[in-house]
Amino acid sequence: MNIDTLITQLKVAYAYLLILSTLFLVISPQGARNLYTKDMIEEFFLKEPMKPLDKRRIIVFHCEFSSKRGPTMLDHLRNKDRAIHAIAYPALFYPELYILDGGYKAFYEHDKVSEMGISQKGISQA
């Protein structure tokens, strides 16, 4: 997901947006759920899967640059979700999983982010 798309999602009310940080706990931004191991991902998402909503549920993974941990955790969740739904393909608990292009660093350096008043101390979640 590119930064402009994420900013748009932050502004709309028709989507439930969960920003998922895979940064190690000591450097995680406020406002993002912090899950940085495969066990944490499974516990949070698959032990008791989230109930369907009347609106879209968008889950955005990120790490500092979205080059390693974020994509790895997204792939892990997607693969587990597909395995659970192997018989019911293409059904999934979490069909909308995205990586934040450029990661946390690029997000906070984007001009529109500062225009929205979002600081590095917190991310608004719709």
Q: Whole-angstrom Cα distance, residue 9 to residue 19?
A: 11
Burial tier of 47 (Cβ tally within 10 Å: 0-12, 13-18, 19+): exposed
Burial tier of 74 (Cβ tally within 10 Å: 0-12, 13-18, 19+): buried
Residue 47, SS3? coil
CA-based Rg of the chain, rounded to a whole angstrom?
Answer: 14
Q: Active-site residue 63, yes or no?
A: yes
Catalytic residue among 63, 74, 77, 113: 63
Active site residues: 63
